[in-house]
């Protein structure tokens, strides 16, 4: 076998399907059927007609070599015209491709091709419009006089790992390109974010795929949070390889927040950095983190890191929004801001805060009667008032009415199903609770509030050991989790008869209200610390003189009688009245 490197001049075409991952998530079979149609009816006949050679197929993309740059351009234009015609005749979601073409020196080795000619084409492809063809100036120079194709100048671009700036051109295909999504004004209710393509700091193609894959997965994951406005992949990837001011990008896209990051590999380790920036707040850094991992399975690594980022970001954005909203008077708040303020007050879990929260949420549905999220949180907050006895109405009829309205408006909102599951728990309707909880997890498995509630539900229904696992998973998903998660974890440990762990968790709760003391009293009583149990029992009666064990247990939701009996015995050991 000769070690001689074979070189030749070739036209290189790189094609990639737009939004493959998100379309597969929605309709796997339909997406694959449309992709197969394009291969069978457009790509393979086109290669034969224009003397092209398929070098590599990546499932949703292709690397193709042509001996003639004219043939490469003609193939690309005819292919995009064929795809457009197919989309017009199909009833399913459109399938779109980006194409990049370059002509240059390539090296041949064992059926694969390498070199500058390939690298430039690969960098041009993601900068092309969906349904479009982007080519280098070398392509225009060689094909311009020999082809009937027309080209439009698209400026100079800095391409990743290409030292020189390149002038690039759009090939005119005669196909009407899809309109870029209209950007929204930044004062719209929901917080808005653009996820810029993560920068690959290494030179390997696999690392570039990891960076782009992480970006797409983060976009898909964040899009599941209905309270966020997430700029599409098409718009965000237009900034790949471009060095521009973040404030200008935010203004162009109509967003407040920008997420940017980088991926760097060193041997068998990879480092991913990410930072969330409030571009309208003077490029203020809201959150940043760094993840160092050993590479064992690149796909598992990608899933782990994207999950960590997706789970953290919504909470950090909400915290930043809360800080901004606190400076506004309620009469000047938009519907989203009223819901945000209502949620903050709800989490304080006291009578006055609950009443204020309901005022905000009543105002939110008055301003925006079709806002499902507002109706869902109105149901949750009223349910809290009923559960704690802060309102004269002792039924959940109003909460259920509000929740039904939320479901009518948006049955695909994961938070609506999470809250419906919570109401099911309050009613001791565990079948309904499980049904809505499963739907919430299906819609958004990375929402820490949904994950922690799975742990709560398992605790109430007699599987506290599993509940511990889910609650700890929620804490890992969101390192900035609400303090109440410690209460959920403490209860799971208590029901699992893991009393020392329960006590450790309950001690992490601040405030010192009767709920904290009654939790510690029960855990210490069950653990055999009679003195400690009675000390906390005394604090309970000091704070709530009318407290009785029977009334307290009526606010809990044990599915198994033995779990309620266990809790009763523990409280009686604390010298609390039955």
Q: What is the pLDDT of residues 95-109, one digit of tens each?
A: 889 999 999 888 887
pLDDT of residue 175 exceeding 90 = no
Return the CATH number of the domain spanning residue range 192-313: 3.40.50.10070
Mean pLDDT of 536-549: 94
Mean pLDDT of 334-363: 84
67 and 10 Cβ atoms separated by less than 8 Å: yes
Kindly list the distances between the CA atom of residue 241 and the CA atoms of 16, 200, 372, 451, in Å, as whole numbers in the listed order: 17, 10, 39, 37
More confident residue, 174 or 225: 174
Among residues of the chain, what percentage have pLDDT more than 90? 35
Q: What is the pLDDT of residues 471-502, one digit of tens each?
A: 998 888 777 787 889 999 999 999 999 999 99
Residue with tokens 């009686």: 572
Kindly list the distances between the CA atom of residue 441 and the CA atoms of 360, 453, 504, in Å, as whole numbers in the listed order: 28, 10, 29
265 and 207 Cβ atoms separated by less than 8 Å: yes
pLDDT of residue 220: 72
Least confident of 257-266, 342-351, 532-541: 342-351
Strands 133-136 and 112-114, by their bridges, are unpaired
Q: How far apart are CA 358 and CA 306, in angstroms?
A: 35
More confident residue, 497 or 301: 497
Question: Check: CATH 1.20.1050.140 for 385-393+405-573?
Answer: no
Q: Which helix (H) or strand (E) holds 180?
A: none
| Both structure tokens of 244 | 């521009």
Q: Diameter of the chain by CA atoms?
A: 96
Mean pLDDT of 395-420: 88
More confident residue, 42 or 335: 42
pLDDT of residue 55 exceeding 80 = yes
pLDDT of residue 302: 66
User: What does pLDDT average to over the chain?
Assistant: 83
Return the CATH number of the domain spanning residue range 6-171: 3.30.70.1230
Taking alpha carbons only, the member of 457, 407, 405, 408 closest to residue 430 is: 457
Taking alpha carbons only, the member of 75, 144, 73 closest to residue 102 is: 73
pLDDT of residue 538: 95
Kindly list the distances between the CA atom of residue 161 and the CA atoms of 123, 204, 263, 428, 460, in Å, as whole numbers in the listed order: 9, 10, 14, 60, 56
Mean pLDDT of 324-339: 63
Mean pLDDT of 77-95: 82
pLDDT of residue 182: 40
pLDDT of residue 59 exceeding 50 = yes
In 110-186, DSSP assigns E strands to: 112-114, 133-136, 151-158, 165-171
Q: CB-based contacts of 331: which residues, under 8 Å, 6+ apart?
A: none
More confident residue, 130 or 332: 130
pLDDT of residue 15: 92
Q: What is the pLDDT of residues 430-445, one digit of tens each?
A: 999 999 999 999 888 8
pLDDT of residue 324: 58
For the chain, give every domain's residue range.
6-171, 192-313, 385-393+405-573
Confidence label for 226 from pLDDT (cuts 50, 70 and 90): low
Dihedral, 47, 48, 50, 51 alpha carbons, nearest 10: 90
Burial class, 533, CB count within 10 angstroms (exposed 0-12 / middle 13-18 / buried 19+) = buried
pLDDT of residue 469: 95
**pTM to 2 decimal places:** 0.57
Mean pLDDT of 413-441: 90
Q: Is 334 strand, coil or helix?
A: coil
- Residue 187's DSSP bridge partners are none
Strands 257-266 and 199-200, by their bridges, are parallel
Kindly list the distances between the CA atom of residue 5 and the CA atoms of 11, 13, 553, in Å, as whole numbers in the listed order: 18, 22, 79
């Amino acid at each position: 076998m000769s070690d001689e490197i074979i070189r030749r001049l070739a036209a290189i075409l790189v094609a990639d399907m737009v939004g493959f991952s998100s379309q597969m998530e929605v309709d796997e079979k339909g997406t694959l059927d449309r992709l197969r149609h394009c291969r069978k009816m457009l790509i393979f006949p086109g290669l034969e007609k224009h003397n092209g050679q398929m070098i590599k197929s990546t499932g949703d993309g292709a690397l193709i070599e042509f001996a003639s740059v004219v043939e490469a351009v003609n193939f690309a234009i005819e292919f995009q015209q064929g795809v457009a015609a197919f989309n017009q005749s199909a009833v399913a979601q459109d399938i779109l491709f980006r194409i990049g073409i370059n002509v240059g020196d390539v090296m041949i080795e064992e059926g694969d091709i390498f070199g500058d000619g390939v690298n430039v084409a690969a960098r041009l492809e993601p900068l092309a419009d969906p349904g479009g063809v982007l080519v280098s100036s070398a392509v225009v120079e060689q094909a311009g006089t020999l082809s009937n194709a027309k080209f439009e100048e698209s400026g100079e671009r800095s391409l990743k790992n290409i030292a020189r700036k390149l002038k690039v051109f759009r090939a005119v295909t005669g196909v009407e390109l899809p309109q870029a999504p209209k950007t929204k004004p930044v004062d719209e209710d929901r917080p808005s974010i653009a996820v810029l393509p993560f920068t690959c700091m290494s030179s390997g193609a696999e690392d570039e795929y990891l960076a782009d894959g992480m970006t797409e997965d983060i976009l898909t994951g964040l899009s599941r949070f209905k309270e966020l406005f997430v700029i599409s992949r098409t718009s965000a990837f237009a900034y790949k390889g471009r060095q521009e001011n973040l404030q200008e990008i935010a203004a162009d896209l109509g967003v407040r927040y920008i997420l940017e990051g980088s991926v760097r590999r060193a041997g068998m380790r990879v480092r991913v950095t990410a930072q969330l920036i409030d571009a309208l707040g003077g490029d203020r850094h809201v959150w940043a983190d760094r993840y160092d991992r050993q590479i064992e399975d690149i796909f598992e690594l990608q899933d782990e890191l994207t999950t960590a980022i997706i789970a953290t970001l919504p909470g950090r954005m909400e915290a930043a929004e809360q800080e901004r909203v606190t400076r506004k008077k309620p009469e000047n708040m938009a519907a989203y801001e009223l819901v945000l303020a209502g949620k903050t007050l709800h989490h304080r879990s006291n009578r006055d805060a609950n009443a204020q929260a309901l005022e905000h949420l009543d105002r939110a549905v008055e301003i925006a009667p079709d806002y499902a999220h507002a109706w869902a949180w109105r149901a949750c907050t009223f349910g809290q008032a009923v559960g704690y006895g802060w309102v004269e109405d002792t039924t959940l009829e109003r909460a259920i009415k509000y929740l039904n309205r939320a479901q009518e408006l948006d049955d695909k909102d994961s938070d609506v199903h999470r809250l419906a599951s919570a109401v099911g728990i309050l009613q001791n309707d565990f079948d309904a609770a499980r049904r809505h909880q499963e739907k919430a997890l299906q819609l958004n498995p990375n929402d820490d509030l949904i994950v922690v509630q799975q742990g709560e539900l398992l605790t109430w229904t007699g599987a506290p050991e599993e509940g511990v696992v889910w609650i700890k998973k929620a804490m890992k998903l969101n390192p900035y989790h609400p303090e109440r998660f410690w209460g959920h974890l403490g209860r799971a440990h208590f029901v699992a008869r893991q009393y020392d762990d329960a006590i450790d968790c309950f001690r992490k709760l601040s405030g010192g209200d009767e709920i904290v003391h009654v939790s510690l009293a029960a855990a210490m009583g069950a653990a055999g610390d009679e003195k400690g149990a009675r000390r906390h029992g005394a604090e309970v009666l000091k704070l709530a003189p009318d407290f009785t064990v029977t009334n307290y247990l009526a606010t809990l939701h044990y599915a198994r009688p033995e779990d309620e009996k266990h809790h009763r015995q523990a409280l009686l050991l604390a010298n609390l009245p039955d």
